[in-house]
Amino acid sequence: MSSWERFLETFLNTKVMLRYLPDIVSGVAVTIELALLVVVTGIAAGLVLALLRSLGIRALNWLIVIVVDLFRSLPPLVVIVLIYFGLPSINVSPSGFVSTWLSLAFVLMAFSEEIFWAGITSVARGQWEAARSTGLSFGQTLMSVVLPQAVRLTIPPLTNRTIAITKGTALGTVVAVTEILGQASSAMSNSYNPSPLMMGAAAYIVLFFPVVVAARWVETRLAWKR
């Protein structure tokens, strides 16, 4: 057997891959569901916090800053472990899926809030003053004049951070979430062959490469022209 044949037998074993293909497909479905939940809830929560922060209520702003800095500082894996193993001590027992979802959503929320806040504060003060001079209220100015401009400014950093955190769904393996990496690792252990792990890697490429390309397209279409 040549070196190339040994490589194929070890990492691209067709028999092993076909045997565990249904498991990988099942993991892909879980990963997609988890990623969508993380993205929607994380970004929405971050935007809400940024809008609340724009109200200028000192005590509320300090609370938001503390929460955001806390989740930006903690590794997502630590947050997952704290939720999954910590909450049962107060009679709350979230599943591994829910623990992973909440953990990654909290982390994405924290980074999204800072990105949205940076976008809001980067809009020139004159925009606020001009809008208010036309009779618009603070809320109308924020939602109709400032926020649309801020969102355009936040597209590049927000898409990059979202992709980076969403790939963290693989961390769910530590709490028995049967996503792609979990299924691939289990199959590799059962088959004594790393071919399922190669299938898992291919699945991540198939899922996230189009997302990266789409994010680049959105940045090009909607970001400010310079």
Q: What CATH number did the domain enclosing 112 receive?
A: 1.10.3720.10
Mean predicted lDDT score pLDDT of the chain? 86
Residue 14 lies in a domain: no
**Is residue 159 a contact partner of residue 218, using CB atoms and an 8 Å limit?**
yes
Residue 18 lies in a domain: no
* pLDDT bucket at 215, cuts 50 / 70 / 90: confident
Percent of the chain residues past pLDDT 70, beyond the cut: 97
Q: How many CB atoms lie within 10 A of CB 93?
A: 12
State residue 1's pLDDT score: 64
pLDDT over threshold 90, residue 125: no
* Helices and strands, counts by H and E, the chain: 10, 0
Name the residue range of residue 43's domain. 24-180
Read off the DSSP letter of residue 85: I
Residue 8 lies in a domain: no
Residue 156 lies in a domain: yes
The more confident residue out of 10 and 104 is: 104
Query: What confidence tens digit (pLDDT) does each residue in 141-177 have?
Result: 888 888 888 888 888 788 888 888 888 888 888 887 8
| Range scoring the smallest mean pLDDT among 40-54, 143-157, 181-195, 212-226 | 212-226
41: CB partners within 8 A, 6+ apart: 101, 105, 109
Q: How far apart are CA 43 and CA 198, in angstroms?
A: 31
Residue 209 lies in a domain: no
212: CB partners within 8 A, 6+ apart: 163
Residue 17 lies in a domain: no
State residue 222's pLDDT score: 65
* pLDDT bucket at 226, cuts 50 / 70 / 90: very low
Number of domains in the chain: 1
Query: What confidence tens digit (pLDDT) does each residue in 172-199 have?
Result: 888 878 888 888 888 888 888 888 889 9
Residue 74 lies in a domain: yes
